[in-house]
Amino acid sequence: MKHILLSLIVLVFTNCADKPSTESEQITAYYKGYINSDYEQIKKVLSDSLTTVFGDYITTYSHQSYYEQFKWDSIFKPVYKLDALKYEEGQFIATVSIRSLKLEFLKNTPMTCRYQFQFIAGKISRIEELDCNSVDWNVWQNEVDTLVNWIKINHPEMDGFIHDLSMQGAIDYLKAIELYKNREVD
């Protein structure tokens, strides 16, 4: 009888451990991966491909290409905070605030945005930015343009850093920010 009872307990716990996470748990785990700088945690909740939509920019990633994006982002030392997670009209909407060295330079930190998540087979397959009402896009664009133009004139060897989404591109972006901040003002 002891063996049967023990077997039943093991069976119940095994089945509970294999139960897929709910979609809200997947989203929470996704952001915990960013908070902990743990790409493996993020990868576990992603579908085989992930599509992101940020305005007119639609990008589809494999696990490897999303890891490259993760590495690029990590250079700016981001701090992610999942402020709210709601289920609205059949979709999960996450409100997230982000701080980073890049956003600080662009005078838009923290940046708070809302994202809609979609799933395939219980895994995150699409993340669409709905709005970033806290962002002043005019200030953002002005800071980017000022930095890019200053680099083009004063450090032409670094021209193009803004379009390089590799880890080295992010390192160059930070270097450009530092050069600009430390420039001698006439």
Query: For 61-85, what is each residue's pLDDT tens digit?
Result: 999 999 999 999 999 999 999 999 9
pLDDT at 21: 55
pLDDT at 3: 38
Token duo for residue 184? 């001698």
Of 3.10.450.50, 2.60.40.10, 1.10.3470.10, 3.40.50.300, the CATH number of 2-135 is 3.10.450.50
Tens of pLDDT along 40-55? 999 999 999 999 999 8
**pLDDT average, residue stretch 3-26:** 50
d(CA 99, CA 79): 5
Among the residues of 75-128, which ranges form H helices?
A: 101-105
pLDDT at 4: 37
Compute the half-sphere exposure of residue 162: CA atoms within 13 Å on the CB side of its CA: 15
> In the structure, what pLDDT confidence band is assigned to residue 1 with cuts at 50, 70 and 90?
very low
Task: List the beta bridge partners of residue 160.
Answer: none
Q: How far is CA 40 from CA 44, 117, 159, in A?
A: 6, 19, 33
CB neighbours of residue 57 within 10 Å: 8
pLDDT higher than threshold 60 for residue 9: no
d(CA 37, CA 16): 27
Tens of pLDDT along 82-123? 999 999 888 999 999 999 999 999 999 899 999 999 999 999
Q: Give the residue extent of every domain in the chain.
A: 2-135, 136-186
